[in-house]
A = this chain, B = another copy of it.
Amino acid sequence: MSIAQQSAQGREQRLLDEDRLFPADPGARAVARGLYAHIRDLPVISPHGHTDPRWYAENEAFPDPAELFVVPDHYVFRMLFSQGVKLEELGVPTLDGAPVETDSRKIWRRFAENYYLFRGTPTRIWLDHAFATLFDIDVVLSAKTADFYYERIAERLAQPDYRPRALFERFNIEVIATTESPLDDLRWHKEIAESGWKGRVITAYRPDAVVDPEFQDFQRNIERFGELSGADIGNFAGYLDAHRIRRSFFKSFGATSTDHGHATARTENLDRGEAERLYQKAIKGTISAEEADAFRGHMLTEMARMSLDDGLVMQIHPGSWRSHSKSIFTRFGRDKGFDIPMRTDYVRALKPMLDAVGTEPGLSVILFTLDETAYSRELAPLAGVYPCLKLGPAWWFFDSAEGMRRFRELTTETAGFYNTVGFNDDTRAFCSIPARHDVARRVDCAYLAELVVTGRLREDEAYEVAHDLTYRLVKEAYRL
């Protein structure tokens, strides 16, 4: 008899516990179960994420288990890398084309034998959820079960009901947003629109490539921006016009939001002459680091002004030191798990934009953070008073059970529930979407149940709040 059997005391060891993430206390658990039953089957609203619109346009089968679950998932390969597995061994492509592992089954085995590393992480919860609910697997992934897993998943992926559109419907997605650069021609969105398929896939306007003078190929990007928009990008006024034109184009493919991923939350409200001066230096490539930062900050205020006109909701995702390792960036490029959070200030940083437009009716700015210390100190106090500010959900490293719990504990008392906007999955890992939304729903129900049993919220109100957090607030906040 194994240790596990000795110790398990009859506890059921399914891959998914029906009561997962609910409070341990039986009284609170009962309340959480009731709340969850009430909202579990609501449609998924995914207002911000990074799935590939091509999937929905072409509706091809996903290639294989490793290509689906390992190679493109930075949560997965960063953990394996941290324990000495080379990115090459996981099939992560090099920039210079140096050969990497191409045998999917080998990659999968490497992943499987290291799957224990994910104990206690959200990745484990997401993956187990997909394995159990999509592939009807009920044993833990390990070296021993690697081949069983591989074959089961590969077999299913070949079936028509595992193609993107079928999964989209199975996942009960009411609407999903992708994220594109202004330089994107939105051809996949066009194909989707013309295909007659009823799935609602919309785009979002993410202009970093033409707003950040330090973005790779900025000058070339601006030229292309001019071509696509037809605006005169030789001066700042024309450059703003180009944004207006592309925003309008994005709106025609359903966009209701913009997204801004700067290193800090800095905003500026420069006078027009100074903005023009910085823009000229930016397009000539002579802008200093400080000036580039000021320009990015000013563009947030300009984007807010455009939002007042066209109604697009702004999202600000600041605070990541992108590509922290020089050697990994040089060999593999961006988005390789080396984006590290930094301390982030909001109070001083947002003031110029807030003084410019912060009390205007109709503006909506959703703030995210990778610095949890800002929740109770800065973000909840700001969102709890400025009508334009709302708090985005726990993000990235904090899109996790503890992360979401801390988000509620640290923001609710000051900002309430109604200055938050429900959940974002923010993922390109398509199969993790149901799991991520399920975790958010469970954690919110657990939090509400704690409030109920400790006399801080009436149970009838908790039912209403649970529904609002799952469905109503996200639709309202993102104007969906």
Given contacts A16-B455, A328-B359, 14 further A-B contacts (CB under 8 A): A3-B463, A4-B459, A7-B34, A17-B454, A22-B455, A24-B454, A81-B387, A84-B387, A120-B417, A120-B456, A124-B456, A325-B355, A325-B358, A376-B398
**Interface membership of A2, Cβ < 8 A:** yes
- This chain: how many copies in the complex? 3
Contact of A456 among B21, B345, B351, B370 (CB under 8 A): B21
Segment with Cβ contacts to B, from A55-63, A244-252, A406-414: A406-414
In the complex, the answer to whether B383 meets A397 with C-beta atoms within 8 Å is: no
Q: List CB contacts (< 8 Å) of A364-414 with chain B.
A: 370-373, 376-378, 380-387, 389, 397-398, 400-403, 409-410, 412-414
The answer to whether A125 and B343 touch (CB under 8 A), given A4-B463, A358-B325, is no
Question: Which of A78, A338, A385, A460 has the most chain B CB atoms inside 10 A of its CB?
Answer: A385
In the complex, the answer to whether B122 meets A413 with C-beta atoms within 8 Å is: yes
Within the complex, the shortest CB–CB distance from A21 to chain B, in Å, comes to 6
Contact of A463 among B7, B351, B459 (CB under 8 A): B7
Within the complex, the shortest CB–CB distance from A429 to chain B, in Å, comes to 16
Contact of A355 among B5, B327, B342 (CB under 8 A): B327
Question: Which of A81, A125, A454 has the most chain B CB atoms inside 10 A of its CB?
Answer: A454
In the complex, the answer to whether B325 meets A458 with C-beta atoms within 8 Å is: no
In the complex, the answer to whether A460 meets B2 with C-beta atoms within 8 Å is: yes
A82 to B358, CA, bound (A): 11
Contact of A120 among B17, B321, B378, B451 (CB under 8 A): B451
In the complex, what residues of B have CB within 8 A of residue A120's CB? 412-413, 416-417, 451, 456-457, 465
In the complex, what residues of B have CB within 8 A of residue A3's CB? 38, 460, 463-464
In the complex, the answer to whether B386 meets A82 with C-beta atoms within 8 Å is: yes
A5 to B82, CA, bound (A): 51
A480 to B389, CA, bound (A): 43
In the complex, the answer to whether B460 meets A4 with C-beta atoms within 8 Å is: yes
In the complex, what residues of B have CB within 8 A of residue A148's CB? none
The answer to whether A7 and B459 touch (CB under 8 A), given A84-B361, A325-B354, A337-B385, is yes
Segment with Cβ contacts to B, from A25-33, A174-182, A194-202: A25-33
In the complex, the answer to whether A455 meets B324 with C-beta atoms within 8 Å is: no
Within the complex, the shortest CB–CB distance from A79 to chain B, in Å, comes to 6
**Interface membership of A426, Cβ < 8 A:** no
Within the complex, the shortest CB–CB distance from A365 to chain B, in Å, comes to 12
**Interface membership of A101, Cβ < 8 A:** no
In the complex, the answer to whether A82 meets B398 with C-beta atoms within 8 Å is: no
Within the complex, the shortest CB–CB distance from A337 to chain B, in Å, comes to 5
**Interface membership of A11, Cβ < 8 A:** yes
| Nearest opposing residue in chain B for A389, CB measure | B82
A431 to B120, CA, bound (A): 33
Segment with Cβ contacts to B, from A111-119, A154-162, A217-225, A294-302: A111-119
A149 to B17, CA, bound (A): 46
In the complex, the answer to whether A453 meets B24 with C-beta atoms within 8 Å is: yes
In the complex, the answer to whether A416 meets B79 with C-beta atoms within 8 Å is: yes
A28 to B455, CA, bound (A): 15
Question: Which of A21, A370, A416 has the most chain B CB atoms inside 10 A of its CB?
Answer: A416
A and B contact pairs by CB, cutoff 8 A, 8 listed: A4-B463, A18-B455, A25-B25, A78-B385, A119-B416, A321-B347, A327-B355, A340-B347
In the complex, what residues of B have CB within 8 A of residue A16's CB? 455
A348 to B465, CA, bound (A): 41
A402 to B451, CA, bound (A): 11
In the complex, the answer to whether B416 meets A121 with C-beta atoms within 8 Å is: yes
**Interface membership of A9, Cβ < 8 A:** yes
**Interface membership of A127, Cβ < 8 A:** no
Within the complex, the shortest CB–CB distance from A353 to chain B, in Å, comes to 12
In the complex, the answer to whether B82 meets A341 with C-beta atoms within 8 Å is: no
**Interface membership of A216, Cβ < 8 A:** no
In the complex, the answer to whether A387 meets B82 with C-beta atoms within 8 Å is: yes
In the complex, the answer to whether A8 meets B413 with C-beta atoms within 8 Å is: no
Contact of A19 among B2, B383, B386, B455 (CB under 8 A): B455
Contact of A384 among B8, B79, B125, B465 (CB under 8 A): B79
| Nearest opposing residue in chain B for A17, CB measure | B455
In the complex, what residues of B have CB within 8 A of residue A386's CB? 82, 325
**Interface membership of A140, Cβ < 8 A:** yes
**Interface membership of A288, Cβ < 8 A:** no
Question: Which of A19, A324, A465 has the most chain B CB atoms inside 10 A of its CB?
Answer: A324
Question: Which of A35, A321, A340, A402 has the most chain B CB atoms inside 10 A of its CB?
Answer: A340
The answer to whether A121 and B413 touch (CB under 8 A), given A325-B355, A340-B347, is yes
